[in-house]
Structure formats: structure tokens, C-alpha cells
Amino acid sequence: SDHLTCLLRNLYAGQEATVRTGHGTTDWFQIGKGVRQGCILSPCLFNFYAEYIMRNAGLEETQAGIKIAGRNINILSYADDTTLMAESEEELKSLLMKVKVE
């Protein structure tokens, strides 16, 4: 919905951060990518976006991957870890390029 999209854009607009190190604190800097660390919405937002990328990359339709129990598997995901699988280096490069385009 447009209201939810507007709410999320406002939540993420103008984010800034600073980093504390053993030598002191850095200057404030803009954050332009990623989800908020520690935010209750972050895992869901990350999963929605990752699913969107993988669906648009068309990995489900491609024949690249490995056969397990008669099924073609080319991607495994858990939390923020994703593994692409293929029978050959060429297949793997093809899968990676599909994801990269998205």
C-alpha cells in the first residue's frame, strides 16, 4: 500500500550513524543502504527484498543447479546467508549474473 511505503521511506530517510572505536568516536555519516540494526522490522524487510530479487532473477525457471531427490536446487537461503549452487562454473556464473542484474 502507498501508506506503508511512505511510512517505510520516512523511517529510513536521513539516517545517520557514528562509530565508537578504541581511539574515540567517528564523525557522523549518512547511511544509504541496508536495514536498521536492531529494528524489529529489519528481518522482515530484508527477507521481502531478498525474495523480490530472487524471484525477479528468474532462478526458479532456470535449469541450472544440482539435482536432489529429483528436484533442481540452485539456491539455499538462511537468515542473511544465500548460497547459489550449480553443476559447473559456467552455470554458477550464469546464476550470479541473473542475481547481479536484479
Q: What is the pLDDT of residues 10-69, one digit of tens each?
A: 988 989 999 999 999 999 999 988 888 888 989 999 988 888 888 888 777 777 788 888
Residues in the chain: 102
CB 16 within 8 Å of CB 30: yes
CB 85 within 8 Å of CB 76: yes
CB 50 within 8 Å of CB 58: no
Choice between 102 and 92, residue whose per-residue pLDDT is larger? 92
The pLDDT value given to residue 68:
86
For residue 43, give the 3-state DSSP assignment: helix
Structural domain including 81 reads 2-101
Provide the number of structural domains found in the chain: 1
Instruction: List the one residue out of 89, 3, 83, 17 whose CA is nearest residue 50.
Output: 83
